[in-house]
Amino acid sequence: MRQLPTATKPSARKRKVKAVETPTGISAAQSSGPSTGTAQDTLGRRSNAQSLEPTRNGVSIGEGKYIGLSGTDDVYFALERDQAIGNDPAREAYFRERASSSISAISDTSNHHVLRADPDASIVQSIFFEQSHAAYPLLDESRAKKHNSRLLINAIAIISKYTSPELQGLDNNVLIEGFSASLLLEARSPTLETVEAAILFTQRALRGKMSTSAPGMWAVIGTIVGICHDLGLNIDCSAWSIPEIVKRRRKRLWWSMYMQDKWFAMALGRPSYIRDNNTTTSMLSAIDFEGMTANNGAVEDEPRRPELTTGIHCFVAMAQLTVILDEILSIFFTLSSVVQLRTVSGEHIIDISDRIEQKLATWRAMYLDPILVQRFFPDVTGSLEVAFYTVRIMLLRGIFPKLYRRNFTLDHQFELAIESTSSMISLVETLQINRLSTFWWSCSGFNLALAGTFMASLKRLSTDEGRVRYWDGRLKYYRKLLSAYGTSFWPAKFAATSLDHMAKNLTKTTGGDDMNSETGDGPNILTSPSTPWSGVSYDFFPHSLTSLNEIDFDAGWWMEDAGQWSADVPNPPE
């Protein structure tokens, strides 16, 4: 006899019965039938499915973390390389093994569904415009105080929380998770205010154990770039029939996003989202900010806080500097450009470097030097000055391996390296309360860390013993300096932590099941580029291959914490 189907899912000819909630909170439809299960069962099935995939150290093979060419995590220093993918020793781009703890398909601690933080709008606005707006004058203050969304208020609360006792009671994780979820919803039908909130969100201080890799930041930046394109911010609106205040606002937003895209592309070693050939928006100027006129950017009628005027000039200068940074990244730090530069002469590379160095000198004379005269309390110029030294360092970091490979004499380049790194060290040494107490751009922590990465690179690249000692001493001192300031200054703490991670990668022993040097299953610290264990490129190391087998950093060189320390370091080698 034909039996009736017993499945809980109704047939196509029957009306689907509405699920009825049971006292336990589970619908009647869910409580019966073999095809249903709890959320834990679903996660269990997913885990079982994932367990069928080939893994190593709890991570699926083929899921390595990509290491870019320009970031604080130097591709030539990485030891925990993913041997399954992207490890061609003749190429600069390869992958680091991803820690199993960093992968989570579903966050068990995600709480933005059940918790909500609603900061008081008037308090948050007052704190932001008093403490942060002068250093990052993205918003029209008069408009923002009259019209603002909950998304914008939450973004302002996130970036103001750590400097304001009034906001200490807010749960930062709840704010961030709630903002991230809301941003994806608003991205369906975004407004200019959506972009303002999102950009401010990316300017938050990067804190926490995982902050040195800015987890999720690059995905958020990609989302914001997509929103900007949806709104046409990349298109010149100067001839449009819209109010002038809207034209200025659109320009500020586009160039703010342009800067975030380029600086985090550099810091994280990622390809930029924004292409110049798809942009017609004209360069930012001081008159694109509220209350500024065309007369040398003079302030209109009413008196204004002098640090706000300085902050506006810093904002414009940073946009101009970012264009130069983008040129450096395009020439020296893309996968295709690295290959192309192998075929050109050393003289050609030096010509490129000299041309960009001249642009930087012109920029400094036109922007940085006049701005540094306009220093008040609070002093909002710190992020810009750090950014300038970082761009110079990135230019040198781009040309050093190329010229080494061609056996060029690099005395002039070493002088520039000493000058640039010494300027960065001096800036940190002389930090005063007028700078420490102000808002710093979110890329500043990465910029401070990149100076240390560059010093470590120069130590490795130095064949002269005097230069090795010099860079070793400078790097030790710089790291201690960052640690000292890091107790109350988040960019310094970020940089010190980032450099600590790099040092641990350089000095950690290679014991364990996967890489046991005693059994010959793995490398010691470095191996010859001729072996498959090495991701080191010949472009970077011109030394004899035998010297590459030596340990360049002894295990204690970085971690010396005891005793007094001073700025006494070896003199630059002749």
Mean of all residue pLDDT scores within the chain: 72
Q: Which of 222, 152, 218, 163 is nearest to 191 (CA)?
A: 152
Share of the chain above pLDDT 70, in %: 62
Share of the chain above pLDDT 90, in %: 28
Would the CA dihedral through 209, 210, 213, 217 be positive or negative? negative
Q: What confidence tens digit (pLDDT) does each residue in 151-182 have?
A: 888 888 888 776 665 666 676 677 788 888 88
Please return the burial class of 287, using the count of CB atoms within 10 Å of its CB with bins 0-12, 13-18 and 19+: middle
Q: How far is CA 362 from the centre of its chain?
A: 27
State the pLDDT confidence band at 84, using cuts at 50, 70 and 90: very low
Which pLDDT score is estimated for 73?
58
Tell which wins on pLDDT, 128 or 558: 128
Which pLDDT score is estimated for 558?
41
Q: Percentages helix, strand, coil for the chain, rounded to the nearest 5?
A: 50, 5, 45
State the pLDDT confidence band at 212, using cuts at 50, 70 and 90: low
Cα distance between residue 134 and residue 153, in whole Å: 17
Q: What confidence tens digit (pLDDT) does each residue in 547-559 have?
A: 323 333 333 434 4
Instruction: Please check the confidence at residue 81 and state whether its pLDDT lies above 50.
Output: no
Q: What confidence tens digit (pLDDT) does each residue in 87-118 have?
A: 454 444 444 554 443 333 333 444 444 345 56
Least confidently predicted of 19-33, 195-209, 375-389? 19-33
Cα distance between residue 454 and residue 463, in whole Å: 16
* Token pair 């920029």 in the structure block, residue: 363
Which pLDDT score is estimated for 12?
47
Tell which wins on pLDDT, 541 or 147: 147
State the pLDDT confidence band at 38, using cuts at 50, 70 and 90: very low
Which pLDDT score is estimated for 2?
42
Q: What confidence tens digit (pLDDT) does each residue in 174-208 have?
A: 778 888 888 888 888 888 999 999 999 998 877 65
